[in-house]
Structure 1
């Protein structure tokens, strides 16, 4: 298969438009949640400024460390999780409730997300995130520049673990700033805790899969997608928003949000699997082909092995043992040749349809329905 054919598969996931600079997710967010995104960013900036100042009082070096954590939070990102939480809330309350009362809760999800990203980058030994050096790589570079004793890589990983831990504590602290009745905040916290537990479960399964690929399967790869991505990216944020609005756990809306959230969240991860192999690093902010270099048992790679001919399967065994760009490109072509890319694209499409069907059953604010419909498609037709 020619290289341009592989590129064509990637573009089918996120078709580029002439002169386009923003991906579809960002476009939908800009259309529907401009006030929310600004509110979340302003809330985070004010909260983090005070936290950095407080830690600087302990020691000047702590100020620099806290600033690293702050910069990891504020370094771009689409604010996807606060957005789904917002529409989960807005679907219930409509346009009548004031946004500032719940902004700290939505912003807390971005701190939780940063915790997960920073730790994930350490576990995956990733070099870049959002087009910048990952936290552990940046800390290692500072170690070298300062002439510290010891191993720079080890120092960088230790600092990144602490950055992630700090963001997790900050998320708890900011969540408590929401102006919500104590009894309701208690229920919100239960939803939030379940989200965190499922995130850790998904991350562990992700690590296990990389170290036990012989016992992995498409079903287990999808289970990772369900808990590592779907739960804390879409499903739980939606339920978190509904809980902030006071919806009971057994309400019909919870079932509709759960069904929608799992479908969109899994599709989101399947799209990530494709971008991890065929995405443009200049757009994704991450190197292309890392999953093939490490042999990460994503649904895409598991399907490729399942669909491959005996000869193709033998060639696919090289995944996890290649380093050069040319070898990675050949493996990417091979994965596409098996039909796995087309199969994943159909899985994404099926899940979007499932999500929209679930949304049709929900009794929610019509503006929220329109936004969630757009997000279901945009979150899975993207270039980053």
Structure 2
């Protein structure tokens, strides 16, 4: 049995995940090539999009599994242990969640009309470039959108294939059914959460001002918090045969941490360093994201500043000076400090929940560390 101290185990797990991702994509190349050589971009874009990344969802899935599996283990478990079959299953599920996340990013970039993703052109821009470079007929932008939609759908298909393989390999049918139920719930929640997000960009001006904060908080919960942290934890714990009490305790940890995670993301979307985030400065301002940060700023700004903020928010042609002006306006409103306070409150709630949870001590320590990592990140 391999004994690894926390950070080393998570680091090695990330390497294992990348190897499994690379192997899965390599195995799919002959299938794509057998259909048509024109499908090379699908293989290339998949490899680029799934190379690296923070792997937070996979890590939460793994440590959710360990939080239950570790209750009966003498030490942390990795691939050379007697539990290799269980380990392989949870790694496969974790890889499936990474493919699901990649699909969500592709579709999200289309909806947000984003130009970049992780320092590279967004998928729809890459398909658009293919069309333009090939001198093909029709509209390059329309082809780019259509190609990326299908690319995202393919990633979703591969995600479901991976999750199905992982669940089918479990000895316990009850565990498999529970894990599948949690995954299905996650897919529904993040999809409708995405709709609520784009709805806010259109319906914001018609909703009463006193409802805007609550509506932005609703988007955070369903678009990101449950999907980014809570659901992966529950899928992993369910695969280990976790009881209702185990799942409840992980939800009590995962939901507030997921909220804090997205609040940090909202700050980075406005104030993040492009060299670190791989996205243009103030990208959320150009995209018109109606976040908790914006809702809090509107509550404190004078009427004239609110009017200007509403007028400029969502203008894709905002120049650097306008971005800096909006950043200063939001910061001066006190909204940044308010969001930082909310992050601290949610992290404290998560840490309190995990501290008293009936879960494996080694996993609890890693989850506590992850809580700090995901909410203090700069990208």
TM-score by length of 2: 0.90
Residue 207 (1) aligns with residue 195 (2): no
Q: Which residue of 1 aligns with 2:301?
A: 308
- Map of 2:108 onto structure 1: 120
Aligned positions of 1:227-376 closer than 5 A = 227-248=222-243, 251-317=244-310, 318-321=312-315, 323-376=318-371
Deviation above 6 Å: which 4+ runs of structure 1?
none
Matched, 1:34 2:11: yes
Find the counterpart in structure 2 of residue 72 from structure 1: 49
Classify 1:29/1:224 alpha carbon distance in 2 versus 1 (closer, same or farther; 3 Å).
Answer: farther
* In 1: Cα distance, 2:284 partner to 2:330 partner: 12
Alignment-derived partner of residue 58 in structure 2:
82
C-alpha distance in structure 1 between counterparts of 2:90 and 2:351, whole Å: 27
Shift of 1:346: 0.2
Question: For residues 222-267 of structure 1, what are the alpha-carbon distances to aligned partners after superposition, in whole Å with 9 as ceiling and x for unaligned?
Answer: 111111111111000000011010113xx22211111111111111
List alignment gaps of at least 5 residues for structure 2.
71-75, 78-82
Higher deviation after alignment, 300-309 or 89-98 = 89-98
- TM-score (normalizing by structure 1): 0.89
Name 1:100's counterpart in structure 2.
Answer: 88
Query: Unaligned 5+ residue runs, structure 1?
Result: 1-27
1:54 aligns with 2:31: yes
Instruction: Choose between structure 1 and 2 for higher RCO, CA contacts under 8 A separated by at least 6 residues.
Output: 1
Structure 1 residue aligned with 2:176: 185
SS at match of 1:62: helix
- Residue-pair matches, total: 354
Alignment partners' CA distance in 2, 1:316 and 1:108: 40
Aligned partners of 2:48, 2:176: CA distance in 1, in Å?
28
Question: Which of 151, 159, 171 pairs up with 2:147?
Answer: 159
Q: CA deviation at 1:173?
A: 0.9
RMSD over aligned Cα atoms = 1.6
- Distance, in Å, in 2 between the alignment partners of 1:218 and 1:30 is 37
The secondary structure found in structure 2 opposite 1:177 is helix
Encode CA deviations 1:259-317: one digit per residue, 9 max, x unaligned: 11111111111101110111000000111212212322111011100111223223322
